[in-house]
C-alpha cells in the first residue's frame, strides 16, 4: 500500500468516525423523543447543536426533492438510515483499495 493510499484510507477513517458520532447522537435523540431516560439527557444536550444542524439540513434537502414535509421523527429516522448507508459505502470503497 502506497503512502497516498494510506493517507486516503486514514481520511476516510476520520469521516467514518464523524458519521459514527452523528449516528450516536441521532439514536439518542430518537430514543428520547419516545420516552425520557434521565441518564441520556446530558448526551442529548451535548449533541443537540449537531443534531439540529443535521436535521435542518436534511429538511431543506427534503423540501427541494419532495413535495411533502417531514415530521421530526421521520427526519431523524431518514437521516439515520442515510448516514448508515453512507458509512457502509465508504467502508466498501476503502476496502477495495
Residue 15 CA to residue 19 CA, distance in Å, equals 6
Break the chain into its structural domains and give their ranges: 11-96
Task: Give Cβ neighbours of residue 80 (< 8 Å, ≥ 6 apart).
Answer: 23, 26, 27, 30
pLDDT at 76: 94
pLDDT at 1: 63
Per-residue tens of pLDDT for the chain, all 97 residues: 689 888 988 999 999 999 999 999 999 999 999 999 999 999 999 999 999 999 999 999 999 998 888 899 999 999 999 999 999 999 998 888 7
Q: Are 25 and 43 in contact (CB under 8 A)?
A: yes
Amino acid at each position: 500500500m502506497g503512502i497516498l493510499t494510506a493517507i486516503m484510507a486514514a481520511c476516510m477513517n476520520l469521516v467514518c468516525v464523524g458519521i459514527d458520532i452523528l449516528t450516536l447522537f441521532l439514536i439518542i435523540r430518537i430514543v428520547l423523543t419516545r420516552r425520557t431516560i434521565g441518564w441520556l439527557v446530558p448526551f442529548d444536550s451535548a449533541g443537540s447543536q449537531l443534531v439540529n444542524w443535521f436535521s435542518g439540513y436534511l429538511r431543506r434537502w427534503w423540501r427541494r426533492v419532495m413535495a411533502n414535509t417531514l415530521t421530526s421523527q421521520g427526519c431523524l429516522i431518514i437521516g439515520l438510515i442515510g448516514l448508515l448507508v453512507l458509512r457502509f459505502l465508504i467502508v466498501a470503497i476503502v476496502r477495495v483499495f
